[in-house]
Amino acid sequence: MSNSYWRTERLILDAVDRRILQKPKVWDGVVSLATDPDLLALAAICFPGLVLSLLVTLAVPGFAEATEALQQLL
């Protein structure tokens, strides 16, 4: 058995796009984080809840006092 088979069966790589070889920049990390599907789903759930709670706080008179009384009980 010959050990010279590596010369004929080695992996030949095609030309690689230069963008793949570059180091990722900070902006690339921010964009990938902001476009993460899990983060977008979480934001889609939390944002309406935040808006609804603010609307209830502003629309219902005495809501702040009621929540303070509830917090003192807990």
Dihedral Cα 17, 21, 22, 24, nearest 10 deg: 110
Give the chain's end-to-end CA distance (angstroms, integer).
Answer: 79
**Whether the predicted pLDDT of 5 surpasses 80:** no
pTM (predicted TM-score): 0.49
Query: So what's the pLDDT on residue 56?
Result: 86
Q: Which pLDDT score, from 0 to 100, does residue 65 have?
A: 85
pLDDT tens-place string over residues 6-62: 555 666 566 666 666 678 788 888 888 889 999 999 999 999 999 998 898 888 888
What distances in angstroms separate CA 1 from CA 4, 19, 22, 23, one per listed residue?
A: 9, 42, 41, 43
